[in-house]
Structure 1
Amino acid sequence: MTGLRERKKQRTRDALIVAAHELFVTQGYEDTTVDQIAEAVDVSQRTFFRYFANKEEVALFVQDMVGQLYYEAVCARPAGESPLDCLRNTLDDAWDDVGEAVEEITPLDLHLKMCQVIETTPALLAAHLRHSLLMEEKLVQEIARRAGVDAEKDPRPRVLVAAFSGVMRTAARQWSMRNDSSLQLARQVTGDYVAQLGPALTADWGQQG
């Protein structure tokens, strides 16, 4: 059971995340200062730096958490699934749990608006892509382990993870930039895009309809 001290620290951390994201959404990432974030929570700048190294870290905290939860869910998948099915099934089965984990920290509508801020802020988008590449390498190693291959000799785990991650980023860009963005829309668009991954790689691209 989490102790009182730890719960208090988590509440302060979460309050800083929410305050920062609200400021980033309303006035922009570049125009928001650490002092403003700390002031919004009525704590000192020193307290802010006990939890986060800089603005970038607080801006991407929830995104990084989502990536880590997805990776952990991949690692927990039953043996015997094909690599692509593992990635797709994890996405479908873990979606609600990840949504609940996000909502424990920040309102979902604020999280979705923050996704748009990341997509439209060059510095944040670049940082997010750097973080994503690190997570992708962890997924590569896990997929290789599950498939019983050496990722340094067999390119398939990296090709698969790169393709899957690219589809996920494309889907996120599509739903996050819409004015009617919602968790339901995010799930629908992501599912539709991921469903096209296999056909796009293997099927005949003849005229449809």
Structure 2
Amino acid sequence: METLRERKKRRTREALLRAALELFTTQGYERTTVDEIAEAVDVSQRTFFRYFAGKEDVAFAVQDMAESAFVAAVRARPPHEAPMRALRQAFLESWEEMRETVESVVPVELHLSMYRTIEAEPALLAARLRRLAVTEEALARVLAEREGVDVDGDPRPRLAVAVFGGVMRVTERQWSTREDCGPEVIRTLTTSYLDQVGSALTGNWRTT
């Protein structure tokens, strides 16, 4: 059970996170300072750095939580599942848990606004791609371990993760531009786009 001290620390961290995202999305990432984030929560700069290494760390805190949950979900999939099936089912079956993880910290509207901010800010977009590469490497190693192959000698784990990651990036981009951008929409879009991967890679796109 969470102690009073632990609860207070969690609430402070979450308050700093919400304040940071609100400032990033309203006045811009580059124009926001750590001092402003701390002041918004009425704590010191020193307190901010107890919870986050810096602005980039807080900017991606929610995404990091969701991605860590997804990697754990892939690792927990039944060993008989094929790699792409494991990735797909891990996402679909852990979606509610990931959604609840995000919404326990920030409203989905703020999460969506932050996604748009990341896409629009060159420094954040570069950081996002760098961090995605780390997550994708972790997923490739999970798949390689599941399948009993050498991740450095067999390209298939990284190829599978690259395809899945591409679908997720297309999904997120489409989700962020829709008016009906509720959390269930991204699950529906992901299912639809994963179903089209086979025909997109090997099918004939031309109509006669």
TM tier relative to shorter chain = over 0.9
Inter-partner Cα distance in structure 1 for 2:155 and 2:118: 30
- Say yes or no: does 1:36 pair with 2:42: no
Give me the identity figure in percent: 54
Matched residue of 2:201: which SS?
A: helix
* Equivalent residue number for residue 131 of structure 2: 131
Shift of 1:82: 0.6
Q: Deviations over 1:150-171 (max 9, x none)?
A: 1111111111111111121121
Tell me which moved more, 162-171 or 65-74: 162-171
Inter-partner Cα distance in structure 2 for 1:134 and 1:206: 33
Q: Deviations over 1:46-92 (max 9, x none)?
A: 11111111111100000111111000000011110110000011111
* Equivalent residue number for residue 192 of structure 1: 192
Aligned residue identity for 1:108: V
* Equivalent residue number for residue 118 of structure 1: 118
Inter-partner Cα distance in structure 2 for 1:19 and 1:59: 11
What is the count of residue pairs matched by the alignment? 208
TM-score normalised to structure 1 length: 0.94
Aligned residue identity for 2:11: R
User: Map of 1:53-64 to 2, 5 A cutoff?
Assistant: 53-64=53-64
- Say yes or no: does 1:49 pair with 2:49: yes
Indicate how the Cα distance of structure 1 residues 19 and 119 shifts in structure 2: closer, same or farther if over 3 A, else same: same
Aligned residue identity for 1:134: V
Q: Deviations over 1:27-50 (max 9, x none)?
A: 111111111111110101111111
* Equivalent residue number for residue 17 of structure 2: 17
Inter-partner Cα distance in structure 1 for 2:194 and 2:33: 37
Shift of 1:13: 0.3
Indicate how the Cα distance of structure 1 residues 112 and 46 shifts in structure 2: closer, same or farther if over 3 A, else same: same
* Equivalent residue number for residue 74 of structure 2: 74
Aligned residue identity for 2:162: A
Inter-partner Cα distance in structure 1 for 2:179 and 2:22: 17
Q: 5+ residue gaps in structure 2?
A: none
Counterpart contact for 1:171–1:193, Cα < 8 Å: yes
Inter-partner Cα distance in structure 2 for 1:198 and 1:147: 21
Q: 5+ residue gaps in structure 1?
A: none
- Say yes or no: does 1:161 pair with 2:161: yes
> Pairwise CA RMSD of aligned residues?
1.5
Aligned residue identity for 2:51: Y
Shift of 1:206: 4.5
Counterpart contact for 1:175–1:181, Cα < 8 Å: yes
- Say yes or no: does 1:89 pair with 2:89: yes
Matched residue of 2:60: which SS?
A: helix
Counterpart contact for 1:176–1:186, Cα < 8 Å: no
* Equivalent residue number for residue 183 of structure 2: 183
Shift of 1:107: 1.2
Aligned residue identity for 2:190: T
Matched residue of 2:173: which SS?
A: helix
Aligned residue identity for 1:107: P
